[in-house]
């Protein structure tokens, strides 16, 4: 049974929206919670292992690039985000619906 799992805590809402849009492109059911002092991104998946895998990809990528909204130009941000988009695998959600 699918369940919501937290996968990342972005520093600001702009980054949260970008990550959520990438996850949605990959057909994940996703949402974010804006709050002080932390924002949170959630995905709905069948297992914690799947959520942990996605969380690891996002976390590793963000740490590597130290991605902050103020530190990058719009062009650089788009190029950087496209690299993250490539790393996140498409969900198997559509396959689950067939069974």
**Count of CB atoms situated within 10 Å of the CB of 67:** 20
The answer to whether position 63 is within a domain reads: yes
Q: What is the pTM of this model?
A: 0.71
46 in a domain, yes or no?
Answer: yes
Cis, bond preceding 37 (omega within 30 deg of 0) = yes
Confidence of residue 69 (pLDDT cuts 50, 70, 90): very low
Q: For residue 72, what are the CA distances in angstroms to 68, 77, 81, 95? A: 7, 6, 11, 37
Number of domains present in the structure of the chain: 1
12-56 tens-digit pLDDT: 888 888 899 999 999 999 999 987 778 899 999 999 999 999 999
3-state class of 82 per DSSP?
helix
- Encoded tokens for 32: 């974010």
Q: Are 21 and 30 in contact (CB under 8 A)?
A: no
Does some domain include residue 99?
no
% residues pLDDT > 90 (the chain): 37
Q: Residue 67 pLDDT more than 60?
A: no
Q: Where are the beta strands (DSSP E) in the chain?
A: 3-8, 29-33, 40-45
pLDDT of 95 reads 52
Do the domain assignments include residue 37?
A: yes
Question: Is there a domain that residue 94 lies in?
Answer: no
- Which pLDDT score, from 0 to 100, does residue 49 have? 95
**pLDDT score of 75 more than 70:** no
Q: Count of CB atoms within 10 A of residue 82's CB?
A: 10
């Amino acid at each position: 049974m699918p369940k919501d799992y937290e996968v990342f805590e972005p520093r600001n809402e702009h980054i949260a929206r970008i990550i959520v849009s990438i996850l949605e492109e990959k057909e994940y059911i996703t949402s974010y919670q804006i709050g002080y002092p932390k924002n949170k991104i959630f995905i709905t998946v069948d297992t914690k292992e799947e959520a942990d895998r996605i969380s690891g990809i996002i976390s590793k990528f963000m740490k590597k690039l130290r991605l902050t909204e103020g530190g990058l130009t719009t062009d650089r941000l788009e190029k950087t985000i496209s690299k993250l988009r490539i790393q996140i695998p498409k969900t198997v959600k559509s396959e689950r619906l067939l069974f």
